[in-house]
Structure 1
Amino acid sequence: MPVLSAEELFEVTKRIFEAIGTPEDSASKVAEHLVEANLMGHDSHGVVRILRYLDFIREGKLDVKARPQVVRDGPTVAIIDGNWGFGQVAAYMGMELAIKKAKRNVFGAVGILHCNHIGRLGAYAQKAAEKNLIGIVACNASPAWVAPYGGKTRMLGTNPVSIAIPTGGEEPFLMDFATSIVAEGKVRVKFHEGKDIPEGWVIDKNGRPTTKPGDLYDGGALLSFGGHKGYAISLAIDLICGALTGAGCMVGSKTWIGNGVFMMAIDVEGFTSLDVYTKRVRDALNLVRSTPPAEGFAKVMVPGEPEFESKKKRLKEGIPIPDPIWDEIKKVASEFGVDIK
């Protein structure tokens, strides 16, 4: 299994996207986002996505040269049309705009439509926290991968949500998860690696539990986390990110319609002083960390800590890329004339 530095992986990824006609600034933004996902330990949203994005381009779903544009703008709310370009480009633009509005008016909210896959949501929420704001990001997704509670056929997207909260320290509280029990990309990674998945992730086309990742791609479905609770959250996200933004609800979608995105930034100083707020946050998080660990656990962590620990480790030791995935990346790189040592 090859192990690459973040810099090496960034250069390979950027050059592949540039080779297919992506402007340099967009290629850099997308490559940086994917490599950051690998650094944070979310390999399902890392450079493995190169392969899927190339499929989107070949199928005419992703325009590498497209630029997002603001189509509705108000003091606290804006709508961005992604114009079917790279989702990351539109999403970073969206959070930057939400931050600007929150700095002026306490709240800033942005919806994005006609938007391709935006990747790891935590990256955008974290941008707000780095500016001492609370960041909230959610998106609906297509095609449908998730069976509703009590059902056996796909009806909902994985519909993830992320919340980032400033702590006054180096690292924010960072919550980021799909409302399915696992992101579809994590099943895809296991599929590429030829490995089984845990029971409880997927049901096959007959509604039976399975440990074979390929069953998901043969008419099976993911399950929501927490049964009816995760299902309810997922449906609410679809209604907000689809109906409110104009991207469209994706319930029952059989084809790729992209992501409908909702982002919000909140300036805590509209409520209280930043110092008072972050002290309250740190005190609460430290109290949680002080909980004696249960059997099988070394310590109690708060959301975001596993990711930041992974980033420190991988910046030092490198990013491992499974052989089947690296072989496919090398194959497409060669196809587009990108030399990989």
Structure 2
Amino acid sequence: MTTINLTKNSYGTQLKFERSHSTIQFNVNTVPTEKVTALFLTHFSIDAQEKILSSKLMTDLPIYLSKEAFELRQQLILLGELEKTQLNYKIIPVNIPVIIDGFTITAFLSDSIHTGSLAFLIEDDNHRRAFFTGDTRLNGPHKKRTKKWIRYINQSPLDALILDANYEPNINNYTEITILDHLNKQLKINDLTTITLPNENLHLVYSLTVLAKKLDKIVVLNSKLNHLLAYFYPESRTLLLDSSSIPVIKNNPAKYILINVKDVSDSFTITPENIYVLADYFEDDKNKNALSISSHLSQLDVHDLLNRLSVSPKQLIVMDQNFTDNTVSY
């Protein structure tokens, strides 16, 4: 029998698949025990993972992640955001089953705000199947990825479906796609504009550079974002904010869109007319320029996902923000 042990805290969702002779773990919010033989990351997170992965117990433990997530980590080291550590990172191929410690693991790229985010199909030697969505959504710009793993899990009966979701009312006003339509109208105004959004959402930053180009504007970025965007989206057109670009921007402020640039008023001695904040959720949404964008599965998304499945999972586990520790066997 395989046991799934599930926990969630401020560092995110963690799963352990345990049998008498082996244990594999998905994501990390506590230091794995010596019993764990392999660790799989749905996505790479500086705040949560690097603090825990620095433990001495992690030195030899194989840590599987996507090629894109591995490259993101390497670039963050180059930027000085991370220390170079001797950890046993391994790139797991996508859409190809691999056997690790008696489990058959198939990784799939997922529609997430995180670069190289993965979902996983886990099968044990008794042909029991469990699917973990990881940090995903249904309404993002990479819908084809979701359709691919839905087709895959529909091929055989599913014992457990584990959804990493914010299972709450649909409070978000926009998706990552519809927000661009909204901003397309707003950014036509001839004034300096600033936008603040989650640093990890590189694809949204890239999409804004495409929109800016259509409007004959240029996106201005801090050095970190500019470096990462140039690496993952080399075709993007941006301007690095530095001492040489500030006079250029001040000469024609309406042409520029500043993204995640701090202390704007100090740099330019002018206050932007258009200030937008894009985030997953706001406690107080009275500010008309605080735009809420969905980045997780909502209640409607969960029902939509279940309707797309031609197989009915024997167990459905929704891990929301109010989730408490749980253990199930299958």
What band does the TM-score fall into relative to the shorter chain? under 0.3
What TM-score do you get using the length of structure 1 for normalisation? 0.26
Q: Bigger relative contact order, structure 1 or 2, given CA contacts below 8 A and separation 6+? A: 1
More strand, by proportion? 2
Which of the two has higher C-alpha Rg?
A: 2
